[in-house]
Structure 1
């Protein structure tokens, strides 16, 4: 019964409005009796959903706005103010309707994401025939076919073909990305042109797109500090209003004034103002490829004054290339590269994977090599036995720990490569240095612009922490104008540095690639991960995830957090200000029940419309601009 009434609340509101108009018409033609019948009928009809919610709140031992309105309506009926009782109930229901409609708009980003979810998949079977099946029936290992204009139904890897893919649903980036064999593709993205066949690797709720929707839903339900405070405040404020209304009556003996005071003091705009800002801000982030995990994180993010960055994959593109292979002791370059590449297959680090790729580009048969006793040493390198030869590849610390000495010629060559902006990887075979592999990366195109914007928005200090050598780190720090840099750090060293910054009073945001930097990301006040399509660890560890790996998204997220917090404060100020003015007007006799209720509901709508501005926030700054050429670290 209750659900049925709530389902037809809009119809009840419309019917109440017709009865009120009819009552006014009867009054205009001089039929007072029919006027009262129409207005009382409108009051009773519109009161039903209000009374139901008030009773439900009482059962939960809560004083709700519906309870205040119910008391006021009963009082108005008692003193024969049928016009005001009917208008108050109608305005309350109509205000509720407007709130629902406008709140729905603030959730439009999430709804658009849900609408983008693919429903069907075309699967290639073993007999060579294709079958269209519901997307939830796709299993790992299925070969999925996508034609031009089709949505990619699951996460996976391209096996055949190439295509231009619109990844806006995942990254917020409107420019299509070119994809070819072995490239990763994600559920919810759209194939603009081309043709691909892919192997399903993540299906159902495990896809990146499904996780994004889940995270945004959870974030929009998560409350900010302001919301939590207002919830507690409303629980005290609402019963206090009842007490104050009674006091007003005891002093004035004017029941009409007390009832008016009761209705006008309803904290509707105050209660709705913070949540709607929170929802709109998080929705804006999701639409622009930024996942901010809740209102409390939005609050904290807006207070950040210090940024800490990892280098590789964060300030740089994370797509380094082998620029030189230098050998000692008459070692063979291809043999050395093959041995190291096989050893590096156990590593997830950018530099290790770069060496593997370099070997694959030379068509080396790594599968035929025998790998045993492999160990990846975080922040230093790897140790392994390949084809019965002991391989140690990494930095100076690893060589020292393994008691492998560096000659002056080796050290001289390495330093020169590092000063030129390369990472020098020392390669030891059976206990002696046989070569140095030089790897260079590029600074991200948008790094300078993003860091400049964040400084303008209130960031006071920018620091880079890296496991790379000090010469390469200095080259990046100088190019980007960073305040500090610290090189040759282990993951635990980064954690300690972040702790020291926090202890000295800084509010710290740490940005990293979500793998080696996970401990430091978790330690910072705000952990931010460069998502790379949404890796599991980045989504789980970080408070903020950048789905397109663009630092301009970081700048957008920071300014959005500040704007959302400011918007919440504006809404609270509007709500409190309107209630204060109305209550003053009530006590002075210049504001009456119906007009006060109208202004009250208008204030609710104003705070919602104010919050909705966040949906379009900073859209101009997020548009792609012509960037200067990428800044390479000299090879």
Structure 2
């Protein structure tokens, strides 16, 4: 039965009860009884219907307990009690549905942001079509105030885009030719034309909605336990009610015991907190893939970071090209042509630099061999190019003389990554690439420590000098450099074997194995690869580390909220049942308190929707600073 139907029946039942009160005040006893019975039947039918459907599925529901109690109350002539119980139960269900709807508001707002139409240029004509009819390769026109309907790259124009639907960031982002745009974002001002690369359900925005929907439907361990508990608890209450009647011979006390023992607040205590927490994350650009992930995240004590694109901006620049027996531009062109097929940040940086210098990349790389974590080898114009780090040069028996080694070490100590380039087995140059530490990184790591993270470690395939420089600037506990993907996995396993709860954050394809191995895997969404996003348990859509610190403190707050709700629900039922057995709590009053407990549990969970880490962080920071002194 939907919320609208429930509200209608609840309103009519309430009206009948009001009329019954009026009849009572004016002494119309028969009219009062008729109104009470009518109210009981009207409100009782949907309750009994749900109980019957549950029985057909061999399940003992809360509605079954209420139905038994109402039939019993009618049988003994307690019409006031029967009408009050059915009305309160139905009214409670209506309020519960309305209140729970608020916890899903973040998802609903996301869905409302979905674009419905797109303007495309086909056969030289501009036409507006349904977003479902856009195909890959379409040239899509987006003007000021319009929503982006596809994922793609800008080919003409520039604009300022509001990407809050994707990243949770309200500050507009400037976009120009070759920049990527995402479905669901809005052009604040400007004009762009975009070639559609992803359409329909394949867009980033559609995937976000799907991930959040799946996450809100998935269950945490606490929820699964409560479901199993309720399946045992409900029939047990029926048996206990029979025992109460056998020992007391008081049918009214027995019926009250039956109704008051309904585990309504207990059953929803965990799900409502999880849904609210996941909704808060989605609104802040953090995709948490389920209640189980939320509980695991709250227990993390060790965080492991990749460097490039995670602790650093992921937007490195070529700072120097040192060539031997070849022109610098020729070396850059050859290396860039080899790197055109690379997904690695550093490879794409070299390609970007070549285009920036106006070089034409015409040759297709042949005999390509990508060595994850080390580099690439390919044939260009008949020349065998080997591009990568020292390990790759050693593996291919390419000699690095003392002069080149000294130059590379000097560049690395200045914070650069040295990329060796060899032509036909001989070192022909070194390309220096530097990346800046994310501006929010230091604050985010401090917040993580204040929230309960005990150690922060960096695992990177980059050189030792650059890694140690970054580690010192950020105050990391440990730094491990020049690692292959499988070595990162081994380090994660070692940490887990030592008893640590480990989260791994990365963004590249080479990080996917380590992300999958960790207790919690995090991927940087906007700049991350598809495989790292699919592998990860949590996706940070704005590529901001402060989103991670928000997710961690949110997870702790959500688990804390679940525990509060569970304690309150169990405590309320225990107190009410004690009151029933002592003859202090009766059917109508007990039912009212029971429904109020359900609403209080929901209202407590709703606080998570507006949760921000700022206030709780400030409180923990004081404690953290005191401990550090």
TM interval, shorter chain, is over 0.9
| Distance in 2 (alpha carbons) for counterparts of 1:584 and 1:141 | 69
Measured after TM superposition, the shift of residue 199 of structure 1 is 1.1
Contact residue 182 and residue 204 of structure 2 kept, 8 A: yes
Q: Residues 82 and 533 of structure 1: is their aligned pair in 2 closer, same or farther, counting only changes over 3 Å?
A: farther
SS in 1 for 2:510: coil
Q: 2:171: which partner in 1?
A: 175
Q: 1:100: which partner in 2?
A: 97
Q: Residues 471 and 534 of structure 1: is their aligned pair in 2 closer, same or farther, counting only changes over 3 Å?
A: closer
Q: 1:440: which partner in 2?
A: 434
Q: 2:62: which partner in 1?
A: 65
Unaligned runs of 5+ in 2: 618-629
Alignment partner for residue 452 of structure 2, among 458, 474, 477?
458
| Distance in 2 (alpha carbons) for counterparts of 1:295 and 1:6 | 25
1:158 equivalenced with 2:137 (yes/no) = no
Q: 2:337: which partner in 1?
A: 342
| Distance in 2 (alpha carbons) for counterparts of 1:6 and 1:342 | 61
| Distance in 1 (alpha carbons) for counterparts of 2:601 and 2:31 | 38
TM value normalised by structure 2? 0.96
| Distance in 2 (alpha carbons) for counterparts of 1:320 and 1:480 | 18
Measured after TM superposition, the shift of residue 12 of structure 1 is 1.2
1:421 equivalenced with 2:415 (yes/no) = yes
For the aligned residue pairs, the C-alpha RMSD in angstroms reads: 1.4
Q: Residues 82 and 534 of structure 1: is their aligned pair in 2 closer, same or farther, counting only changes over 3 Å?
A: farther
| Distance in 1 (alpha carbons) for counterparts of 2:171 and 2:200 | 26
| Distance in 1 (alpha carbons) for counterparts of 2:461 and 2:256 | 67
SS in 2 for 1:414: helix
SS in 2 for 1:445: coil
SS in 2 for 1:141: coil
Q: 1:400: which partner in 2?
A: 394
Paired residues, number: 617
SS in 2 for 1:8: helix
Q: 2:318: which partner in 1?
A: 322
Measured after TM superposition, the shift of residue 538 of structure 1 is 2.9
Q: Mapping of 1:70-89 within 5 angstroms?
A: 70-89=67-86
| Distance in 1 (alpha carbons) for counterparts of 2:309 and 2:616 | 21
Q: 1:149: which partner in 2?
A: 145
Contact residue 208 and residue 533 of structure 1 kept, 8 A: no
Alignment partner for residue 13 of structure 1, among 10, 33, 44?
10
1:219 equivalenced with 2:215 (yes/no) = yes
Contact residue 344 and residue 508 of structure 2 kept, 8 A: no
| Distance in 2 (alpha carbons) for counterparts of 1:581 and 1:370 | 77
SS in 2 for 1:442: coil
Q: Residues 453 and 142 of structure 1: is their aligned pair in 2 closer, same or farther, counting only changes over 3 Å?
A: same
The Cα offsets for residues 405-452 of structure 1, whole Å up to 9 and x where unpaired, read as 111111111111111111011111111111111111000000000000
1:529 equivalenced with 2:523 (yes/no) = yes
1:193 equivalenced with 2:189 (yes/no) = yes
1:359 equivalenced with 2:354 (yes/no) = yes
1:184 equivalenced with 2:183 (yes/no) = no
1:244 equivalenced with 2:237 (yes/no) = no
Q: 2:273: which partner in 1?
A: 277
| Distance in 2 (alpha carbons) for counterparts of 1:62 and 1:74 | 20
1:300 equivalenced with 2:296 (yes/no) = yes
| Distance in 1 (alpha carbons) for counterparts of 2:528 and 2:514 | 18
Contact residue 422 and residue 441 of structure 1 kept, 8 A: yes
Q: 2:597: which partner in 1?
A: 603
The Cα offsets for residues 230-256 of structure 1, whole Å up to 9 and x where unpaired, read as 000001111111111111111110000
| Distance in 2 (alpha carbons) for counterparts of 1:433 and 1:621 | 56
Contact residue 6 and residue 49 of structure 1 kept, 8 A: no
Q: 1:629: which partner in 2?
A: none
Alignment partner for residue 573 of structure 2, among 579, 585, 597?
579
TM value normalised by structure 1? 0.96
4+ runs deviating over 6 angstroms: none
Alignment partner for residue 133 of structure 1, among 125, 129, 136?
129
Unaligned runs of 5+ in 1: 624-635
SS in 1 for 2:509: coil
**Which moves more between the two structures, 238-247 or 330-339?**
330-339
| Distance in 1 (alpha carbons) for counterparts of 2:224 and 2:603 | 22
Contact residue 554 and residue 613 of structure 2 kept, 8 A: no
Contact residue 309 and residue 527 of structure 2 kept, 8 A: no
| Distance in 2 (alpha carbons) for counterparts of 1:567 and 1:606 | 12
Contact residue 141 and residue 194 of structure 2 kept, 8 A: yes
Contact residue 119 and residue 126 of structure 2 kept, 8 A: yes
